[in-house]
């Protein structure tokens, strides 16, 4: 009989780690996305507190400000994956979030003496600081989540993305109208980041064996389920670069994530411009309409989470089938609605808002569908995989508006926008097809702890075993030669 794996408490320190990740994602998304509200407040003080400086920035300068975050963000993803393996997730995530808070707090000061150029500069630094965080998050989930709970815990932590989106829209808007005005948006966001750093310093640990607050039962449950040797947490495993970069499941995941980001960036950034130009709607000026898609996304993320739990617990779908099903919903439904939106006219504004909200809401299934797949493929190297995927996927939000700029030279021209939406729909569709064909949730052979260790030749191993057996069988003799 095999020993039964001990089970930890229903609620334990692994759930505290997930809560901390959720709060961190919420905090960094508030810092990241508050620029959208800040720019409006700084260039149109009539709708906010008029007692603060107003700037006359062009649309091009505003676009530089909003995209500058990604200029720094894409360059530190690899560094995040490497640093958290070398120094531990706790240290790297702390300094990444702390740096985000510092740069957020300095933003009003920089704008005051450097204008929009300084705003871009501080946001590049902000992006570089946050670039290390998501690779760390995936590594942390891999170290703390028992395999049977990994999907649930990972999905719960990532709902911080939708929470951060909503907070960035609603909270930033209220702060801009308050006594502290638009500078207060940066200060409050920084305060949230610093508060999280304190909680993280107290309660976080790189793994269950290092936690000061975990029970023995929960520690044994987590470590037993991960099936590592005793020296695992003290060992820095070599990275099988060739195996990773030639792995079909990983390449399929990479393509799927890039395709998903292309479609999502079109939904989030370009649909409002289309509605303004073709349908005559200024959706950006309406806080409710601006936040509605993200509220739908947040709600749907929990619908997907509960559905996944039921389907997996009742064994109706394997994890691989679940990932592919949810990713298909997240990509193919929006691809259809994108094309549909392109055929609406000014008399169908309500339908356009409904389709946009459905598209963004349904797309939240991509978190369970593909985002968490890095941990499936390789718990040992999840941070490295996430670094590669996030680098490639976050180049897309830079490339998407450039493509739109080439195609659309008249904002009111529906035919030009239809080309944009068809391209995005095709990318959505084809990217998911690749994932369906080659993707998997099975752990890959190159994840093994000893994958890059030199293997003993089979013949030599057999010879050594035979010599050992012969020594044991040989009768003992006395040596009188000395």
Token pair 């007692």 is at which residue? 51
- The domain tally of the chain equals 2
pLDDT of residue 284: 53
Whole-model pTM? Answer: 0.82
Residue 465 domain-assigned? no
CA–CA distance, 296 with 292 (Å, rounded to integer): 6
Count other Cβ atoms within 10 Å, centred on residue 40. Answer: 19
pLDDT of residue 437: 95
For residue 237, what pLDDT band results from cuts at 50, 70 and 90?
confident
> Do residues 288 and 198 share a domain?
no
Contact 356, 267 (CB under 8 A): yes
Q: What is the CA radius of gyration of the chain?
A: 26
Q: Give mean pLDDT, residues 191-201.
A: 96
> Do residues 336 and 396 share a domain?
yes
pLDDT at 292 over 60: yes
Strands, E assignment, 52-206: none
pLDDT of residue 470: 52
For residue 444, what pLDDT band results from cuts at 50, 70 and 90?
very high
Is the sign of the CA dihedral 99, 105, 108, 110 positive or negative? negative
pLDDT of residue 348: 79
> Do residues 215 and 245 share a domain?
no
**Residue in 132, 129, 70, 159 with CA at minimum distance from that of residue 402:** 70
314 CA to centre of own chain = 28
> Do residues 122 and 185 share a domain?
yes
> Do residues 357 and 388 share a domain?
yes
Last residue of one domain, picked from the residues 215, 236, 257: 236
For the stretch 300-316, pLDDT in tens is 999 999 999 999 988 89
Contact 315, 148 (CB under 8 A): no
pLDDT of residue 228: 67
pLDDT of residue 281: 62
CA–CA distance, 26 with 161 (Å, rounded to integer): 6
pLDDT of residue 24: 96
pLDDT at 461 over 60: no
DSSP state of 411: T
Q: In this structure, what token pair is assigned to residue 237?
A: 């495993």
> Do residues 165 and 272 share a domain?
no
Residue 468 domain-assigned? no
CA–CA distance, 383 with 89 (Å, rounded to integer): 10
pLDDT at 220 over 80: yes
pLDDT of residue 288: 64
Q: What average pLDDT does the structure give for the chain?
A: 83
Residue 477 domain-assigned? no
Q: Give mean pLDDT, residues 85-102.
A: 93
Strands, E assignment, 223-320: none
Residue 473 domain-assigned? no
Burial category of 420 from C-beta neighbours within 10 Å (exposed 0-12, middle 13-18, buried 19 and up): buried
Residue 282: CATH number of its domain: 1.20.1250.20
Q: Give mean pLDDT, residues 467-479.
A: 45
For residue 474, what pLDDT band results from cuts at 50, 70 and 90?
very low
Burial category of 454 from C-beta neighbours within 10 Å (exposed 0-12, middle 13-18, buried 19 and up): exposed
pLDDT of residue 190: 94
pLDDT at 1 over 50: no
pLDDT of residue 482: 36
Residue 460 domain-assigned? no
Residue 481 domain-assigned? no
pLDDT of residue 232: 63
Residue 3 domain-assigned? no
Q: Give mean pLDDT, residues 275-282.
A: 66
For residue 355, what pLDDT band results from cuts at 50, 70 and 90?
confident
pLDDT at 137 over 90: yes
Query: Which residues span the domain enclosing 349?
Result: 240-451
Residue 409, phi then psi, degrees to nearest 5: -110, -10
Last residue of one domain, picked from the residues 236, 271, 296: 236
> Do residues 173 and 302 share a domain?
no
Residue 469 domain-assigned? no
Within 8 A by CB and 6+ apart from 306, the residues are none
pLDDT of residue 473: 47
């Amino acid at each position: 009989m095999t020993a039964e794996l001990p089970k930890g408490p229903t609620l334990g320190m692994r759930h505290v780690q997930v809560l901390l990740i959720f709060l961190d994602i919420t905090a960094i998304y508030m810092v990241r996305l508050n620029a959208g509200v800040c720019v409006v407040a700084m260039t149109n003080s009539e709708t906010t507190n008029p007692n603060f400086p107003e700037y006359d920035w062009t649309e091009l300068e505003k676009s530089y400000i909003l995209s500058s975050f990604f200029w720094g963000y894409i360059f530190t993803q690899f560094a995040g994956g490497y640093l958290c393996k070398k120094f531990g997730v706790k240290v790297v995530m702390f300094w990444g979030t702390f740096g985000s808070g510092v740069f957020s707090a300095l933003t009003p000061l920089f704008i005051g003496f450097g204008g929009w150029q300084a705003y871009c500069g501080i946001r590049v630094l902000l992006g570089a600081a946050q670039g290390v965080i998501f690779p760390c998050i995936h590594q942390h989930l891999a170290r703390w989540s028992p395999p049977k709970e990994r999907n649930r815990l990972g999905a719960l932590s990532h709902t911080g993305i939708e929470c951060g989106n909503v907070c960035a829209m609603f909270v930033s808007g209220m702060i801009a109208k308050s006594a502290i005005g638009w500078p207060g948006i940066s200060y409050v966001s920084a305060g949230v980041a610093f508060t999280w750093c304190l909680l993280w310093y107290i309660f976080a640990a790189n793994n269950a064996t290092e936690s000061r607050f975990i029970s023995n039962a929960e520690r044994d449950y987590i470590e037993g389920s991960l099936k590592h040797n005793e020296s695992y947490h003290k060992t820095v495993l070599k990275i099988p670069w060739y195996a990773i970069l030639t792995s079909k499941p990983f390449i399929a995941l990479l393509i799927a994530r890039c395709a998903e980001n292309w479609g999502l960036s079109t939904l989030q950034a370009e649909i409002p411009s289309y509605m303004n130009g073709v349908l005559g709607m200024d959706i950006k000026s309406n806080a409710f309409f601006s936040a509605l898609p993200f509220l739908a996304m947040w709600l749907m993320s929990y619908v997907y989470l509960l559905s996944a739990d039921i389907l997996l617990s009742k064994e109706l779908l394997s994890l691989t089938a679940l990932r592919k099903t949810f990713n298909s919903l997240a990509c193919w439904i929006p691809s259809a609605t994108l094309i549909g939106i392109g055929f609406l006219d000014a008399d169908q504004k309500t339908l356009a808002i409904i389709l946009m909200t459905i598209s963004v809401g349904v797309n939240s299934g991509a978190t369970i569908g593909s985002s968490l797949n890095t941990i499936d493929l390789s718990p040992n190297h999840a941070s490295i995989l996430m670094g590669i995927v996030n680098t490639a996927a976050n180049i897309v939000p830079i490339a998407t508006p450039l493509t739109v700029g080439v195609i659309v030279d008249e904002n009111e021209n529906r035919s030009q926008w239809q080309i944009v939406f068809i391209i995005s729909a095709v990318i959505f569709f084809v990217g998911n097809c690749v994932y369906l064909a080659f993707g998997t949730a099975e752990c890959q052979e190159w994840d093994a702890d000893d994958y890059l260790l030199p293997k003993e030749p089979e013949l030599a191993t057999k010879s050594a075993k035979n010599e050992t057996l012969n020594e044991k069988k040989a009768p003992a003799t006395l040596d009188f030669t000395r």
